[in-house]
Amino acid sequence: MVRRYLPWLTAFATLTLGACSHSAPDPAAQEAAAAAHIASIPAANPAKFHDIHGSKSWKNPYLIVKPDGVALLDVANNEEHILNPDELTQKLAQLPETAWPYGRTVAVTEAVVTSEHDKAEIRKNKAIVAGTLEGMHVTINWIPAA
């Protein structure tokens, strides 16, 4: 009787074990891989961007720190993609190498806000963004808020 069900039991066991071996990706490993990818970008070359002022002529990633996160500015389309600060490494790593013509540097500014609560949130997010970028050895080109 057991022999009759053996092929079914074997197939079930194989499928079950196969499903267990495909566990969810490790977030720490993904973060490390993204940081390693960014580290492979050549170091910042200040000679290429020292005379550039303003977002319209900046070609590398441009970030705007906001009370609710950080915006990655797509200068070509003038679109802001709002991220949680903890998504920054992954999103920067997903950019094509052509997005880094000045090397491993980003421009960072902060949104203009008036409420004390929003100012506090910007300070918190700015510290997270700065720590994240500095941890990846990305040069920060601080742009004064307009």
Q: What is the pLDDT of residues 78-99, one digit of tens each?
A: 889 999 999 999 999 999 999 9
8 A C-beta contact, residue 95 and residue 41 = no
Give the closest residue to 104 by CA, choosing from 113, 115, 91, 93.
93
137 or 144, higher pLDDT? 137
Task: Output phi, psi for 81, to 5 deg.
Answer: -110, 110
| Residue 128 tokens, joined | 């997270």
User: Is 16 part of any domain?
Assistant: no
108 or 9, higher pLDDT? 108
- Roughly how many angstroms between the first and final C-alpha of the chain, as a whole number? 80
Task: Render the chain in DSSP notation, one character per residue.
Answer: -HHHHHHHHHHHHHHHHHHHHSPPPPHHHHHHHHHHHHHTSPBP-GGGTTT--STTT--S-EEEEETTEEEEEETTTTEEEEE-GGGHHHHHHHS-GGG-TTSBEEEEEE----SHHHHHHHHHHHHHHHHHHHHTTPEEEE----
Asked if residue 11 has pLDDT above 50, the reply is no
Share of the chain above pLDDT 70, in %: 82
What integer best gives the mean pLDDT of the chain? 84
pLDDT at residue 121, as a whole number: 97
User: Is 73 part of any domain?
Assistant: yes
pLDDT at residue 84, as a whole number: 94
Q: Model pTM?
A: 0.79
User: Is 85 part of any domain?
Assistant: yes
User: Is 111 part of any domain?
Assistant: yes
pLDDT tens digit string along 16-62? 444 444 556 787 888 889 989 999 999 999 999 888 766 678 899 99
Give the closest residue to 123 by CA, choosing from 110, 136, 105.
110
User: Is 104 part of any domain?
Assistant: yes
- For the chain, how many structural domains are there in total? 1
pLDDT at residue 9, as a whole number: 38
User: Residue 9, Cα to own-chain centre: how many angstroms?
Assistant: 45
User: Is 51 part of any domain?
Assistant: yes
Q: In the structure, what pLDDT confidence band is assigned to residue 67 with cuts at 50, 70 and 90?
A: very high
pLDDT at residue 8, as a whole number: 42
User: Is 112 part of any domain?
Assistant: yes
Q: How many CA atoms lie within 13 A of 134 on its CB side?
A: 7
Give me the domain span that covers residue 43. 28-142
User: Is 11 part of any domain?
Assistant: no
145 or 125, higher pLDDT? 125
